[in-house]
Structure formats: structure tokens, C-alpha cells
Amino acid sequence: MLRAARLIKHNAQNVSSPLSLSTIARSNRGMDRSFSTTGAKFAIPATSGFSGEVNRGESRPRFTGKVGDVVHGYQVKKIEPLPEKNSTIIRLEHKKTGAEHLHVDCADTNNVFSVVFKTIPKDSTGVAHILEHTTLCGSEKYPVRDPFFNMIKRSVNTFMNAWTASDHTSYPFSTQNKKDYNNLLSVYLDATFFPRLRHLDFLQEGHRFEFKEAEDSNSPLVYQGVVYNEMKGVLSEPSNVFHYTVDEHLFPTSETYKFNSGGDPLNIPDLTYENLKEFHARHYHPSNSRFYTYGDLPLSEHLQKIDEGVLSRFDKIDPNTSVRSEERWNSPRVVRITGPPSAMVINPKKQTKVLVTVLANPLDDAMEVNSLHILSTLLTDGPNSPFFKSLIEPNIGSDYCPGTGYSPYGKEASFGIGLQDIEEGDVERVRQIIDDTLRRVVDEGLDKKRIESVIHQIELSQKNVTTKYGMSILNGISSAWVHDSDVVDFLRVDKYISDLRKKLAEGPYFESLIEKYLINNPHKLTIIMNPDPTHAAQKADRERKKLDEIQKKLSESEKKEIIQQYKTLREHQESKKNDDVSCLPTLHVDQDVPRTLIKDYELQKEMEERVENGIFWNNQPTNGLVFYRSLISIPNLDTELLPYLPMFVSIMTQLGTKGMNFREFSSQSELYTGGISVSINHEMDHDNLKKCTGHLLFTSSCLERNIEKMFDLLKELLTGPRLNETQLLTTLLNQRATEMQEALVGDGHVFGRTYGSASVHRSARLSEIFGGFTQVSFLQNLAQEDDVQGLVEKLERIGKILLNRPIQKILVTGEEKSFPAVKRSLLSLIDTLPKKRTDNSNIGDPTETFQAEKTFFLVPGSVNYVTKSIPTVEWSSPDYVKLANPLHAEIREKGGAYGSGANSGTGVWSFYSYRDPNTKRTLDTFDKVADFASSEKCSESLVKEMKLSLFGSLDRPTPPSQKGLSEWLHNMTLDMRQKRRDQIFETDKEDLVEVSEKYLRREGSLVIFGSDRDLQLPGDASPEEVAALQEAHYSKNFPGWTVRHLETAQAGEMEEEEEE
């Protein structure tokens, strides 16, 4: 996507990558992937999940090499202890090829590998992105159609992925099992360095011509391809269009960053097969690679496998992939553009985005990079930040604009401040506010208490034990590493804090950074985007005209060639020869997966008369942190109040209390806790789909020295939340409405599954009310009201009902030595709460019955999200574990969808496609899904793969703070989990066939988010004409479907112009 912040991911798995120093530094809004590291300040405890392995964790053999030693072709360059992580960093260079290797030796059994290539595209054809896909379509050693997705089923990995950033491509995985690690390592190395890169794979993953009716040359010519369709979906989202355009104009002379590394659908068809192979030969060479390993497995074994399997076959070259710095400007610039409107809008007159962004620093100074991260937090995060006060609180717009904050992605970082959903006439006002606020901060200085609160958050993140620390390091260093920065400096957080305190003592340090980069920096871009309701239609018109011109010039032989190419590709996709995966390494369920669970926690229950179900104490190695959780039951609220409940829990901690205004409460929370949150927890009974319980879940954490402060704040919140701060409430309502509306286009498959499942059972219906399209529409209507007094009244009603109930049960996780102090403060909190017994916590309407529905949500975009939801069984049923997912090849490879899958939940099974260009074909595939698991097609190997996939999910590592949580929160005892485990082991082929016939042929609810690509709307059509054309088209082509329009406000057409 756009620079390293917008990664083009190869599959749907995600990994959190917290920022260097702290999760509190949200570097760039609108991007859910931010780079750098957090982790534990002591050895991460070994986790269960490896079977029959010794010498792991703290007992692992240490690396004995010294600087200068040569180990399996590598020369040891540096060995550096990292005491704050109880780790050692070993840096090596392969003598024959120059490949770099960075290894983090630690006790963590969740081992990580990645190879990172510096990929420097010179255009927007998406060559790096398409190459990332095609390398995973078979290799020299593993010549099967899709080794990557097949290995997901033959592994118990904790993470597998591949992604393309603006200037590098990464292939990471993680696993706890040593055999699994070596299996995946072999596949990844062969895939990246020795891919087959067949022309047919290029056509499938990249782009190709097809006729709309595949074998009818008189039907319209169209483009197809997985990446092509993915990027059409990406560029349907207004925020992504904005992001790409920012870099295009901020880096106008760049050889790389002004281009779209993911590929622009208008340019992707220009990429040739020869271009792809040439790009691989230069960029995927060991001399242009960086290897990363992490964990407790022996480094020498990694080096031997990499050298023998890959590096020994290459010689050193000059890949010529250096990136020159951007030419700096002498004066600021202004760019005005148009883009697609949002799927839904609150105020038709407020759809403009404005961002003031600068080209900041190169990523070669860890001190400055980390400080700018913190500065971003200080300026924009929370109600006490200067820009929240000047930009967000006045309700000029709904929220910060995408691109706000510090973005250290690429060779040089950017730093922006902006606002979205403003009136076009407010652009200059916003620009002036940004300038005035920066100058005021420099003149008056930043609040020293806020700086201390940020440092406190860093301390918390340093001590908090996570299970994704290895991936966090990789994500944190990649952007700087590919440009030869000393990345170890970025990991020395203790040293950074010490140096930061020295600089703060010397003078106004952060204020000097503001002056240097945000005020006196002439390389400053103001970009303004207004909505154009014809944006998508105009792009479609341009593409259609281009294709029509091409089709007119096709000779008969060329038309036959396109048809033959389609047939050849389809034969390739359906060939059984490509389905033989016996050459791929695999784990074996009976040998490599432990049969019996090991309990690594012990909940000690203490009855307390004022807490209905008692206090649970969980002694864990939390490194001086205390984690608090409690539940308050939700009664069966009036139906009219249910949609307000998500807003209530969202704003409860943000509006202050009777004793503290919202700024004071926020300040105290940052200084003394890791945050206080409230959420809704509702779930079905394990044995009864008609029984659903609901609770408010309160969570917080703190350092041991702040236990009393944390409970004082919880007491403030539970006894006197302030819910009538109308101006701030308006701001928070607009933010929440905007966030959910923006998610519609990008997460249509999630909304589709939620909506389609809503009629299956009570809990699914509540999920739709609380977080589905129903909630999006509800928030939009609320935000459009003239005032929020009605909202205040509903929130206060909910508060009187829910906060007049005792705590149902409490979980305290920490080190036993902290428990006496916790108990003193906890009992003080309990004394202030209601003591009456509560009624039951059943929630929802038990009389609801399943009704299959077909709903088409019209959403702007070029590709669709298609889902089907089928009613199944309760969690405790033996059938629950026996359903498989056979859709990938049918929908993704043959249909061209970017992703597909199946999602199993209590009582419901959902199929989905993601960024799908062939809606009707996918619907047919959903109808035939039971055939894919029929007795003729189902094999014992499929059953074994299903089991491995399930165990890979069940056996993921759990951090100390979350051990025992499943039993406490979900009443999921160890015996229940062991019983489920035994059921998985005992499942056979006949079971799979039986449940497929039993459930997958049931009628289900169908949902489509998107639009039918067969409907070609004229770019100059009026809203009335569009509505009439849509009505006629969908009535004819989707009979029996309910079509719901997401109204998009109309705006006048605007032309692009640039001012300098």
C-alpha cells in the first residue's frame, strides 16, 4: 500500500506491531500497522506448545562464537547484550554474498524468522507486490501450486505472512515447534530465492485479459488478477486514495516513494512478465537481503541451513538498490485533489480532508526517531494534548485526518497534522489553527506532567510481557534496517530514556524539535481532498474506454489467444498434478502435537460476600505489574437502550467523573495506570443456543507502586461517571461514527458475516446491534441530530441501571507478593459499591428464530465482499470441530478474489470472500461447498491438515497477564478444553463427510457488500438517474434480494490544481 505503514499483506493474519517505546504513540492515524518494539524487561518465560523438545527456554544452549569468528560461512560482526530485554543481539555477514543476519537470542520459545528484501519499484505497476504473490506459487524444491497456503494447514505456526512495503518486502513466520520451524524455513527460503515464477502464475496473481463471458469474444474485454482486484478494492477507500496522494506529492522527485508499491489498477496492466523476472533477479538476491531470527533455537543451526540451502549457490553482486534522499524544497506547497466520497456521511457539507505534513528526518538517528514518536503522542493523543484542544474539541471536523502523526516509514520520515470531515470553507481556518497551536506550544512549553505520563507508559510497555515481541522487533527495525541504520540503537529503550531525561534537563528539547521540523521546515505540503461522487464512475469509464479501444484492435487470432489463455489457466488451476503436496514438509498430529494440555495457571478463589462469585487470584510472573478485571452483569435492557450500550462503554472513561473533569481523569490514568477500559462481553451458553449472558468487563493494569492509585481511579469511575459533558460527547460521537463508517468499505466481509449471522441466535444478533451495520446506521442517525441531549438521557438511564449493581466476580493477575496491597485497595473499592444481589444476566430476545435472508448493501467500490452464514450447533457439540474450509482455491485462484475463508462461531458457520470481482460465481461456490467435502473429495490428509490448523490456533502462546482468562471469563475449564482437544484427535474422514452433509447444505443468509460490476453507470449521471438504473438492474439480476443503499452525499465536481 503506501510506504511501510500500508503493507500489502498476502493473507488475512495480522500481527500487532507496537511502536518503539510504547503503544501510546499512535504514529499515523488511519494506519493499523505501526512499527517498532515493546516487550518484557526480563526473560520472556518459555511457553508450552512444543512437544518432546529439551534444551529450550532458559535451558537453551547459548551461542559460543566471538566477534571475528566464521560460522557456516558467516563472519560474526558484533555481539551486543540487551539487558533490558535479557537478550543478546548477534550481527553477522555472509562472506560469500554479503547477506546480513541479525539474531536475537532469548528464552522465548515463540521463534521468529524473516527474510527482508529491499524492493525499490520505479513505477506504479505493482511489480514488488505481484512478485510477493508469485514467489509463493511454487518453487524449485516444492513445485506445488500454492505451498504457502498449504503450509498453513501443515503447521502449528503462530504467525505466517508476507507483505510489501514501499521499499522492502518481508516474509516472516513464527512457531513454537522446532520441527515446524525448520519445515517453514525450508519452504520460505526456496520460495523466495528459487521460485518457479511461471507465466500462468503471473497471469493469475498479477493481471490478464479475459472476456466477460470467458469464451465469447463478442462480450466485453475485462482485466482479471488477484493483485489487480485487491488494489481496486484498496483504492475504493477514500483514506487510501488520500494516503497515496500525500506521498506522491511529498516525494515528487523520489525514485520510489511517489509510486504506489502495491500497484495502481490503471498501471498494473503495463507490467510485463519479463519485468517481473528481472525484478526478482536483482532484488531477491542474497546481496540485497537481510535475515532475521529470534528466540531460543540455536543460531548455528539457522546459519547452516540458510548457507547450505541458499547462500552457497550465489556470489556477491551490487544490486544497485540504494535510494537517494528527496530533494528538499525552498518553500511550502499546496495541492488540491478530489477523491471518492465516504460510503456514509454525517453531514453532506462536511466531507473535506486537509493535512499539513512535512518531510522530517532520515531514519539514522534512534534518539531523534524515538523522540519524534513521543512528540506525536504529546501533540495529538488524549484530551490534554494541544491539538485535541484546538482541532478536535471545537468540532470543526470529526477526527484527525489520515496521515496525522509521525510516520517513520521509508528512508525519510514524515510528520503531519490534519482534520477530516470539515467544510471546504474551513480549510484555511484549520491551517491557521495548526500553525498557531505549534507556535503556542513552543512559546508556552509542553506540560511536564504529560511528558512524565508518557515516560510512565514506556515503563509499563517495557515491563509488560507479550508473545509477539519477536515480530515487534522485526516490524520496528525493518524500515531503518534496509537503509543501513544501526537498528540495535532503536532497541535500547533504557538508554533512550536516560538520554531523554538529560536533554529535558538541558532545555526545551521537544519544543526545539517542533521548531526544527514542524515550523521552520520549508518542505511542507498542505493537501486538501474534496469528495467527488463521480470518482469511481470516472475511473470505471476510463478503464472501459481503454479496454474497448484495445478490443477493437484485436485480431481474430488474438481473440482466440485470450480465450485459449483462459482455458489453459483454468486447466492449470484445476489440475490434480498441482494438488500433490506430498513434497511439502509437514508435522504429524500424533507425533508432533501434545495430546494433553499442561495447566500453567492456578486460579485461587476467595469468596467475598459483596462479590457474587468471588475474587480469583492468579499468581503469574508479570514483572512487577498488576492486572485487574471485573464483571458487572447486564440485565435484559429495554430494546431501545441496547444500541446505546456500545457508546456508553466507549465514553464512560473519557468524560470524567463527579470528582474529576475529563482532563484530570485522563491525566491521572496516564500517570498511574496502563489505562482503564470498559467493554461489553456477551456470549452464548456452551450447551444452549437460547441462553445468552452479558456483562460489562472492566480492565486496568498498573505498576505495583501504583496499586492504590489505580483502585482510587476505578472507584471514581464506578461511583460517579460524568455523562453530561455535551461538547465532548458530541466530539466522541462524531469520532466513533466516522471510524465505523470508514471500516465499511475495507471490512465488508466482517460486516457481512455479522449481519448474516444476526438471525441465527441471540448473541449474533447482539453483535450486529453493537458492532455491525445496524450500529453504523444508528451512530450516523445520532450524529445527525441537532444536539446530544437525548443521547445524554439514554446514557444516564443505562448508567443508573448498570452501575447500581454489585461486581459479579473479580480476577487479579500478578505476583503473589503484591496481593496483600491489592486486597486492601480492592476491599476499599468494594465497600463503595451496591451490595444487593442481582437478577440474572440473560440478555437478548430468546424467542428469535432463524430466517434466511439475502441482502445487498450498495457500497462504493470496484470489488465486493460476499458472505454466507449457516446455522450450526452449540460449542459443546462434537460436531463443532469437524467442519473444514475448502473455499480458497475455488474463490481466490479461479475467481480472482484477494481472500476467502470460513469462520466458525458458536451456532453459526460463515463463508466469505474478500475483495471479490466475481460475485455470482462466489455465490454458486457457496452453494456447492458441501460437494468439496464429499466422500469422493475428502481425504485422510485433509482431515490431518484440518487438525493441525485447529491445534495451531488452540496452542498459540499466552502471555502471563492472560493465563487463566478463558476459564475466568468464558467458564472454559481445563477439562472442557481437554475434552475438545480429544474430540479433534478422534475426528476422522467419515465425521467430516457427515457434518458437511448435515450442515453445509442448509439454507443460509447471504450478504453482499459492494456493487455489481455488470452495472456500468455513466460518469455524468445524476443521482436520480443512478437510482433508477440501480433499481432496474438489481430487480432483474438479484431477484428476491433486499437492496439497501448507503447514501453518499453529492458534491460538485472539482478539478485538481497545484499551487506552489
Where residue 667 falls among pLDDT bands split at 50, 70, 90? very high
Alpha carbon 953 to its chain's center: 17
Say what the pLDDT of residue 884 is. 55
More confident: 892 or 376: 376
Examine the residue annotation and report whether 132 is marked as an active-site residue of this protein: yes
More confident residue, 882 or 246: 246
Pick from 280-284, 285-289, 639-643: least confident = 639-643
pLDDT confidence tier of residue 745, bands split at 50, 70 and 90 = confident
pLDDT value at residue 837: 62
Task: Give me the pLDDT at residue 30, please.
Answer: 34
Percent of the chain past pLDDT 70, that is, above it, reads 88
Q: Residue range 945-956: average pLDDT? A: 86
* Nearest-angstrom CA–CA distance, 199 and 602: 57
Cα gap 183→309, rounded to integer Å: 13
Selected catalytic residue, list 84, 100, 132, 459: 132
> Which residues touch 507 (CB under 8 Å, ≥6 apart)?
none
Answer whether 812's CB lies under 8 Å from 618's CB: yes
Q: What is the pTM of this model?
A: 0.90
Average pLDDT, the chain: 87
Length of the chain: 1060
Domains of the chain: 8-313 (3.30.830.10), 603-831 (3.30.830.10), 854-1014 (3.30.830.10)
CA distance 725 to 682: 28
Least confident piece of the model among 66-80, 114-128, 148-162, 295-309: 148-162
pLDDT of residue 2: 29
Tens of pLDDT, residues 680-738:
998 888 888 888 889 999 999 999 999 999 999 999 999 989 999 999 999 999 999 98
What value does the mean pLDDT take over residues 241-270? Answer: 94
pLDDT value of position 891: 45
Nearest CA to 503 out of 341, 360, 670, 371 is that of 371
What tens digit of pLDDT does each residue of 168-200 get? 999 999 999 999 999 999 999 999 999 999 999
Close Cβ partners of 977 (under 8 Å, ≥ 6 residues apart): 597, 954, 966
Query: Residue 527 forms beta bridges with which residues?
Result: 335, 355
Which of 130-139, 633-642, 822-831, 883-892 bottoms out in mean pLDDT, i.e. has the lowest? 883-892
Of 550-554, 685-689, 723-727, 897-901, least confident by mean pLDDT is: 897-901
Contact (Cβ atoms closer than 8 angstroms) between residue 107 and residue 60? yes
Q: What is the mean pLDDT of residues 66-91?
A: 95
CA 431 to each of CA 95, 354, 435, 779, 933: distance values in angstroms, whole numbers, following the listed order = 53, 8, 6, 29, 59
- Span 985-1014, mean pLDDT? 84
Q: What DSSP string describes 357-421? A: EEEEEETT-HHHHHHHHHHHHHHHSSTTSHHIIIIITTTSSSEEPTT-EEE--SSEEEEEEEEEE
pLDDT computed for residue 836 by the predictor: 64
Cβ atoms of residues 731 and 747 within 8 Å? no
* For range 972-989, the mean pLDDT: 90
Strand duo 159-160 + 168-175: pairing: antiparallel
The confidence score (pLDDT) of residue 839 equals 58
**CB atoms closer than 10 angstroms to residue 705:** 11
pLDDT the model gives residue 44? 33
Q: Which residues pair with 908 in a beta bridge?
A: 871, 905
Please tell me the predicted confidence (pLDDT) of residue 535.
87
Of 98-107, 879-888, 933-942, 953-962, minimum mean pLDDT range: 879-888
pLDDT at 642 over 90: yes
Which whole number is the average pLDDT over 31-37?
A: 26
Asked if residue 12 has pLDDT above 70, the reply is: no
Mean pLDDT, residues 796-806: 91
Nearest CA among 349, 370, 327 for reference residue 498: 370
Tell me the pLDDT tens digit for each residue of 828-858: 999 888 876 655 667 766 556 667 888 988 8
pLDDT at 866 over 60: yes
Grid coordinates belonging to 429: 481556518
Which residue would you say has higher pLDDT here, 40 or 127? 127
